[in-house]
């Protein structure tokens, strides 16, 4: 069985139900986070791949609900570590009268930030058995600065053990102390990664890149084996074994919520690649998944709704 580990944070999500703000107010509660979203879509497409999150939660009830939710999505919880003192991060989504959404986060001292300090030898040996280790720019941003050296050592150890290292430079400025700090950490990430899946928008915010060519040129000096550059509906450019492939994307007309577009793309793409599919068919599956997800509200499309997409793909 192929095995993939995704490192990062899943948070408690509170979403304002429809209507104007008032107190008290009913809210819907869910769970979401970029690598978690990717893990869910990977597992939904490829049930035969073992999908594990490397993260930390607390001993509180909400942490237990989150673990149960991971299990309900078929994720393996062996690398969900437990902090005795911390609890999960939380964010809320507000929607104003014109439909514009805003996000508020309470995640600065979440359990996930301490994952590396909870990592023991047995967990490290498990990590070495994985086929793929995935992390994002958000995973990187939440590592406590004093644990960074340990993280980079771990990644090189995993790479030496034959684990494929995959990075999505998902950028959230507010999680970083400065852009210089981001750049120096991203440089280390790009040095160790075998596959990189950047969005043009992320590289524009960090390096000022405006298009596929600029992102590609920037990544060229690194030893990246597979570079998958995303740019919303403008297509996907893949550079693999010195060959380039551009895949067109059919723009979605009924766009509802772009949350998790890149995450669902990553999950489907990496699952397909692990499963032995070629680049083009993996991009097509990923684009189909992301195109479906953005026609529904929220990061995680309900399972029953998602099955329509699975069914459609299997019928074709
Ligand atoms: P991120 O969420 O990381 O910013 P992108 O916006 O580049 O990622 O989108 C990721 C993928 O989602 C794209 O490669 C594409 O497959 C799909 N996607 C995003 N926006 C659209 C759209 N408007 N129409 C169709 N597909 C889209």
Contact of 72 with 44, CB cutoff 8 Å: no
- Count of C-beta atoms within a 10 Å radius of residue 241: 7
Give the pLDDT confidence score for residue 17 in this predicted structure.
82
Could you say which of 3.30.70.260, 1.10.150.120, 3.40.50.10860, 3.40.1190.20 is the CATH number of the domain covering 3-9+33-50+120-315? Answer: 3.40.1190.20
pLDDT in tens, 177-193: 999 999 999 999 999 99
Burial of 254 (0-12, 13-18, 19+ CB in 10 A): exposed
Strand order in the sheet with 27-32: 27-32, 11-16, 90-95, 101-106
Give the pLDDT confidence score for residue 101 in this predicted structure.
81
Catalytic residues: 263
Rounded distance between C-alpha atoms, residue 281 and residue 285, angstroms: 6
| Ligand 1 pocket, residue 232 CB under 6 Å | yes
Q: What is the pTM of this model?
A: 0.96
Give the pLDDT confidence score for residue 96 in this predicted structure.
77
Q: With CA atoms as reference, report the closest residue to 2 among 143, 134, 121.
A: 134
Hey, where are the domains in the chain?
Answer: 3-9+33-50+120-315
Q: With CA atoms as reference, report the closest residue to 8 among 104, 105, 155, 134.
A: 134
Give the pLDDT confidence score for residue 98 in this predicted structure.
75
Contact of 277 with 268, CB cutoff 8 Å: no
314 CA to centre of ligand 1 in angstroms:
23
| Ligand 1 pocket, residue 287 CB under 6 Å | yes
Q: Give the position, in ligand 1's atom list, of the atom nearest the Cα of 199.
A: 7
Give the pLDDT confidence score for residue 241 in this predicted structure.
87
Contact of 134 with 168, CB cutoff 8 Å: yes
CA diameter of the chain: 58
- 91 — phi, psi (to 5°)? -145, 155
pLDDT in tens, 87-100: 999 999 887 777 77
- Protein residue closest via CA to atom 20 of ligand 1: 232
Structure tokens at 58: 């607390």
Per-residue pLDDT of the chain (316 residues; tens, 9 = 90+): 999 999 999 999 999 887 777 888 889 999 999 999 999 999 999 999 999 999 999 999 999 999 999 999 999 999 999 999 999 999 998 877 777 788 999 999 999 999 999 999 999 999 999 999 999 999 999 999 999 999 999 999 999 999 999 999 999 999 999 999 999 999 999 999 999 999 999 999 999 999 999 999 999 999 999 999 999 999 999 999 889 999 999 999 999 889 999 999 999 999 999 999 999 999 999 999 999 999 998 899 999 999 988 888 877 6
């Amino acid at each position: 069985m192929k095995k993939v580990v995704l490192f990062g944070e899943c948070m408690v999500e509170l979403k304002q139900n429809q209507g104007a703000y008032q107190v008290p107010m009913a809210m819907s509660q869910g769970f979401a986070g970029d690598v978690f979203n990717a893990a869910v879509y990977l597992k939904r497409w490829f049930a035969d791949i073992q999908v594990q999150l490397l993260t930390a939660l607390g001993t509180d009830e909400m942490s237990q609900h989150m673990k149960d939710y991971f299990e309900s999505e078929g994720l393996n919880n062996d690398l969900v570590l437990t902090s005795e003192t911390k609890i999960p991060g939380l964010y809320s989504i507000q929607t104003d009268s014109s439909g514009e959404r805003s996000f508020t986060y309470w995640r600065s001292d979440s359990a996930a930030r301490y994952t590396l300090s909870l990592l023991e030898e047995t967990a490290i040996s498990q990590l070495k058995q994985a086929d793929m280790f995935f992390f994002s720019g958000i995973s990187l941003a939440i590592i406590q600065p004093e644990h960074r050296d340990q993280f980079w050592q771990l990644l090189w150890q995993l790479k030496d053990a034959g684990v494929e290292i995959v990075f999505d430079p998902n950028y959230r400025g507010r999680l970083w102390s400065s852009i210089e700090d981001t750049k120096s950490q991203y440089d280390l990430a790009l040095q160790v990664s075998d596959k990189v899946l950047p969005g043009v928008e992320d590289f524009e915010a960090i390096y000022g890149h405006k298009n596929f060519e600029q992102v590609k040129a920037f990544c060229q000096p690194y030893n990246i084996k597979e570079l998958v550059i995303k740019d919303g509906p403008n297509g996907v450019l893949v550079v693999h074994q010195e060959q380039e492939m551009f895949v067109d994307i059919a723009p979605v007309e009924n766009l509802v919520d772009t949350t998790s577009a890149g995450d669902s793309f990553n999950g489907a793409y990496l699952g397909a690649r692990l499963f032995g599919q070629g680049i083009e068919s993996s991009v097509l599956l990923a684009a189909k998944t992301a195109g479906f997800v953005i026609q529904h509200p929220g990061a995680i499309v309900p399972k029953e709704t998602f099955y329509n997409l699975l069914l459609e793909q299997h019928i074709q």
